[in-house]
Amino acid sequence: MPAKTGDQYIERIRKAKNNVYIGGERVEDPTTHPSFKNVVKSMAHLYDLQYENPEKMLYTSPTSGDKVGMTFMRPESIEDLIKRREAITEWAKATGGMMGRSPDYLNAEVMAMGTASDLFAEADPMFAENARNYYEYCRENDISLTHTLIHPQVNRAKAQHEQKDANNALHLVEKRKDGIIVDGIRLLATQGGITDEILVFPSTVKKSGELDDPYSLAFAVPNNTEGLKFISRESFDYGKNEWDHPLSSRFEEGDAIVSFENVFVPWERVFVCENSSICNRTFAETGAVVHMSHQVVSKNVVKTEFLLGIILQVMDAIGIDQFQHVKDKGTEVMLTLETMKSHLYKAEHNAKLDKWGTMTPDFEALNAARNWYPRIYPRITEIIRILGASGLMGIPSEADFQHEEIGPIINRAMQGKNLDGFERVQLFRLAWDATLSAFGSRQAHYEYYFFGDPIKMGMTYFDQYDKDPYKDFVQDFLNKSTSKKPNVTGV
C-alpha cells in the first residue's frame, strides 16, 4: 500500500488499542486522551505533508510501484542522499526540530539494517532475510516505530548477568519452534503508545560480553502484542492552549518504560538472538549509525535555525540588538548553525558507496557533529534565558489578555519596541516553552543524552580518532631542529 495519510495514522493507533498506562490508569484511546491527542495530531500532520508535497516527500517503491515515504529510501547516489535530507528537513521544519523521534529517525535505521543485513547471517541466514523483509514491510506499509535500547538503571557498575535481580532486564526466556519468549524491562521508548511497532536493539555505548548473551536480542513486534505494556511518564502537555504553551501543546512526544511479560516473538521478527558479538557490531557494521546520524544532524540544523529565530525576534522585540554582548551571543548561535551546516555538507558531498551499493555519508563529519551538539545545545538555551531575562517570567496567559478589566492593562504594560503586549508575550511564551518549561527542560536533557552518555561517547571518539598524523607532524618538526641533543648521563 502507498504512504499513509494523517487520518490513516490516527485510525491505526485507535484500532491497535496499544497497552499504554499513564497516571495510574490504562489509556483506552491514545488518539483522544489528553496526554497524547495533541502529539498524535502533530504526527498526523507529518504524514499529511507527504501528500501536500509529494515531489519532495514520496518516491516510487522499487518493489510495489506505489508511492512510499522518501525517508525510507535507500540512497544510491549523493543526489539521493540530498533528496532524503530534504524530506527530513520538511518534517523538521513542521516541528521546529522539537520532535526528536519523528518517523524518519527509525526509517533510516530499518533501511540501513535491511540493506546491509549480511551481519545478521553470521548466526543464521534466516536473520538476514528477516531484516530485509522487515525493511520492505515497514516501507510498503509506512509503519511508525518506537524503539528501546537500554536496560534499567539498577547498578551501572555491574554487567547485566551480575545484577542482584538478573531477570529484571529484558532477556530470553525460551526458544520455541515458532519463535522466542522474552521477559523483562527496557528503557526508554519515546512515542511508545502512539506508534505501530517497537524495535528492540541493544545499546552499543557499553559493549556486552558472552555472559550477557541472554540479553543480546534484536527484534520487532507490534505495539499491541500480548504482554507488552508502555508505562508512560507524566505528560508535559498540560492541556493548555497553543498560545500559552506553543510547543508542549503540540510536540510532547512522551517517554515510556517498556514491560515485556513473557512476550512471544515469531522467528520472522527476530534479527539477533543470544549473540553479544553481533549486537555490539550492529549499528557500526550495517551503517545504521551513519544514516541515523544523518537524520539527526539534518534535524538539528533546523532546530538551531528555529532557536536562532527566537533569539533574533527577542532581541528585536525589546531593542537589545545593538548591545555588544547581545550581538556576541547571537554570533555564538550563528557560528553553531553554520558549523552544523558545514558538517552536513561535508557528510553528503564526501559520501561513498558501501559494499552493498548504498550511498553512505561521511561518518567523520557526522560523528563530530553528533558529539558536539549535546555539548553546545545547553549554551543555546542559556543564551535565550539570558537575553529574555525577567521577560521570561512576566508572561501572562491568553486568558489574562482576554479579561475585560486587566486585558488592556497588561497589553499596555507588556508592550515591546515594535509589538503590542499581546504579541510580545506570545513571543516570550515561545522562548519560555523552548527553554524553561517542563517541555523545554526535557528538550535539553534529551539532546544531551540523544546518542547516549556524551562522556562515554567522547571517550570513544578520542580512542577511535586517527591521532598519529598530528603527532607525526610535530615529531617531524622537532626532528628537523638543528640543535643537537646533549650527551647527558646519569639520569
For range 55-65, the mean pLDDT: 97
For range 54-77, the mean pLDDT: 98
Q: Which three cell numbers stand for residue 325?
A: 554582548
In the block, cell 507488552 appears at: 228
Question: What pLDDT, in 10s, does the model give residues 252-275?
Answer: 999 999 999 999 999 999 999 999
Q: In what order do the strands lie in the sheet with 270-273?
A: 145-148, 197-200, 217-222, 270-273
Q: Name the pairing type of β-strands 145-148 and 197-200.
A: parallel
For range 67-92, the mean pLDDT: 98
Residue 153: what pLDDT?
85
Residue 439 neighbours by CB distance under 10 Å? 25
Residue 206: what pLDDT?
62
pTM value?
A: 0.95
Q: Which three cell numbers stand for residue 293?
A: 546520524
pLDDT band at 490 (very low <50, low <70, confident <90, very high): low
Residue 484 neighbours by CB distance under 10 Å? 6
Residue 45: what pLDDT?
98
CA-based nearest residue to 294, from 59, 49, 104, 79: 104
> Quick check: 491 pLDDT over 60?
no
pLDDT band at 204 (very low <50, low <70, confident <90, very high): low
Spatial contact of 379 and 385, defined as CB atoms under 8 Å apart: no
CA-based nearest residue to 243, from 427, 468, 436: 427
pLDDT band at 170 (very low <50, low <70, confident <90, very high): very high
Peptide bond into 188 cis (omega under 30): yes
Residue 486: what pLDDT?
79
Spatial contact of 49 and 91, defined as CB atoms under 8 Å apart: yes
Question: What pLDDT, in 10s, does the model give residues 108-133?
Answer: 999 999 999 999 999 999 999 999 99
Q: How far apart are CA 442 and CA 447, in angstroms?
A: 8
Spatial contact of 456 and 206, defined as CB atoms under 8 Å apart: yes
Question: What pLDDT, in 10s, does the model give residues 284-314?
Answer: 999 999 999 999 999 999 999 999 999 999 9
Question: What pLDDT, in 10s, does the model give residues 211-235?
Answer: 678 899 999 999 999 999 999 999 9
Q: How far apart are CA 249 and CA 245, in angstroms?
A: 6
Residue 362: what pLDDT?
98
> Quick check: 381 pLDDT over 60?
yes
Q: How far apart are CA 278 and CA 117, in angstroms?
A: 11
Residue 165: what pLDDT?
86
Spatial contact of 152 and 187, defined as CB atoms under 8 Å apart: yes
Least confident of 59-68, 246-255, 274-283, 402-411: 274-283
* 150 DSSP 8-state letter: B
For range 392-420, the mean pLDDT: 97
Spatial contact of 345 and 136, defined as CB atoms under 8 Å apart: no
182 strand-pairing partners: 172, 263
pLDDT band at 96 (very low <50, low <70, confident <90, very high): very high
Residue 207: what pLDDT?
65
Q: What is the mean pLDDT of the chain?
A: 95
For range 310-330, the mean pLDDT: 97
For range 22-27, the mean pLDDT: 97
